Structure 1
């Protein structure tokens, strides 16, 4: 897998004016059969949601989550940012759980909210693809490799999901992919809570030193007081 361009994290702005609203549940669609070295047929368009509202204490009763934007939307918005969702939002219903996140006991569900762009590159979402890799093969299912679109990430246990925790699980998946890339097979020893906790401690310590930020829990670059995802 290609390395991540960390320059995209510079000057991330998490401000937004409107709140995500529950969207109509899309009709079931059949997934196309994967073909070697070809992109799956794009899914039929779904209803778009409004722009994200930054999570604040004023949004009492809402559940903090994270929006992961596709390549096209990242041209005008941050790659990811905090949002608040109603507890009955479709994101908390039957959506796929990131396999690695389930193994490390920070279960993340991904819910697609956009599919209206015409080109594959516009709808690519590398973070979502990394989160959906299979622990044995190191590959994401075809439907999560391209035409992914913008995604809402929530915790399946309905606990608050901070941008920092989302980043941590994503970068842990990136580490796992590096091991696959070295030809060493599935790193089974990393597929448990203890292994992630040890990794998280070092990762968070480095981010606290290098990314002081100023926006609190909703600022992906403010690591000053970030808790472990197991303390939420």
Structure 2
């Protein structure tokens, strides 16, 4: 959801009539579940935010900001001087300029955040993160306070180094004029930015901008999204034709071989369930479990051997990034034609129960039969066998009284 934030809106799910944290009285939650989802991030600053005395503001030009120190596991709150600057010519305007030099030992690069990719939400105010441009090459040490944030989400994260500060600005304009005190809702957005920057994961807004061409795709929802958020296994979505998935993605060898090339990208886990320790509600399976996405990425490359250090397991196996902490996965057709949930369901079933069995036979899993050759297995993974699989699944759905009105994938 992309509606502006208000004081009674849940920071996690955006529902209204939310209640504020009793300690910091800043971040709002609609339920205990959402509060637990935010807690691994929220706890890093809640106590310090509660104890920070707003009455000790040095001057009216100082605003409450966040310092991410290099050598501590928790961020700190600081007073940041944001001096008002008068216009220098008729094209300029009066504005506040944050002085980051005392904290960064240099003037930092300012990155404005006005959209939270993880929560798929537009922000009503701007949040800025400021850091030295050269922190990867100037000998800066890894930032431990940011490591405490990135440790809450499995996967690869950017190598944040050196001190970093964050502060707020009023409104979502291109270049806001006025600075403001940062709050705990802002901290959630900052944490999501730090977690998602440079990651191999993504979070795609449910609705693309109105002026962009729309492409129909499918989310293969993981166990966490199905159980906690009541999402369907295969969910229809719309993306912009310019979405990042068309530039940064992975592909499926099986889909390409049968003539339906697709692009895939994993999503960030939803904060509501990302840090749940008790997996009882998931029947002791990982909430990141997404077997359909795993089997979709089985390798058909006969020449590639196993290289565990690079996550490559070889012919017949999915790479390690598609076996561990997979989570929800977005899928689109490479040709940008519509991809529908029923089509995705059949493709995943074909990969899981037909293609995988053919590949398993080459590995000797059907003894006492001698393993078939890889070439023979590949010959059995083709458009005709997928077409047979398609009509078989359609007939099974008809017998169960289930809807099966999706068009044949090759006729789209």
The TM-score, its normalising length taken from structure 2, stands at 0.40
Residue 164 (structure 1) aligns with: 342
Question: Are the counterparts in 2 of residues 110 and 151 from structure 1 also a CA contact under 8 Å?
Answer: yes
Question: Are the counterparts in 1 of residues 205 and 239 from structure 2 also a CA contact under 8 Å?
Answer: no
- Out of 323, 347, 355, the residue aligned to residue 176 of structure 1 is 355
- Out of 260, 266, 278, the residue aligned to residue 112 of structure 1 is 266
Residue 7 (structure 1) aligns with: none
The whole-number CA distance in structure 2 between the counterparts of 1:69 and 1:197 is: 25
Q: Decide which structure has the larger Cα Rg and report it.
A: 2
Measured against aligned partners, the alpha-carbon deviations of 1:107-160 in whole angstroms (never above 9, x if no partner) come to 121112214624792222211101001125321001110111221110111110
Q: Is it true that 1:134 corresponds to 2:312 in the alignment?
A: no
Name the CA shift for 1:59/1:114 in 2 (closer, same or farther; >3 Å). Answer: same
Deviates more, 1:135-144 or 1:149-158: 135-144
Residue 43 (structure 1) aligns with: 156
Q: Is it true that 1:61 corresponds to 2:239 in the alignment?
A: no
Q: Is it true that 1:155 corresponds to 2:333 in the alignment?
A: yes
Measured against aligned partners, the alpha-carbon deviations of 1:89-117 in whole angstroms (never above 9, x if no partner) come to 11222311111000001112111221462
Measured against aligned partners, the alpha-carbon deviations of 1:187-209 in whole angstroms (never above 9, x if no partner) come to 22222222222332222232233
> Helix, strand or coil for the counterpart of 2:327?
coil
**TM-aligned CA deviation for residue 22 of structure 1:** 9.9
Question: Is there any run of 5+ residues in structure 2 with no aligned partner, and where?
Answer: 1-114, 119-153, 158-194, 278-284, 303-314
Residue 227 (structure 1) aligns with: 407
**TM-aligned CA deviation for residue 84 of structure 1:** 0.8
**TM-aligned CA deviation for residue 164 of structure 1:** 0.8
Name the CA shift for 1:123/1:43 in 2 (closer, same or farther; >3 Å). Answer: farther
Residue 249 (structure 2) aligns with: 95
Residue 210 (structure 1) aligns with: 400
- Out of 73, 76, 88, the residue aligned to residue 225 of structure 2 is 73
The whole-number CA distance in structure 1 between the counterparts of 2:383 and 2:204 is: 35
Question: Are the counterparts in 1 of residues 223 and 290 from structure 2 also a CA contact under 8 Å?
Answer: yes
Question: Is there any run of 5+ residues in structure 1 with no aligned partner, and where?
Answer: 1-20, 25-40, 213-221
Name the CA shift for 1:71/1:189 in 2 (closer, same or farther; >3 Å). Answer: same
Structure with greater strand percent: 2
Residue 240 (structure 2) aligns with: 86
Residue 378 (structure 2) aligns with: 188
> Helix, strand or coil for the counterpart of 1:166?
helix
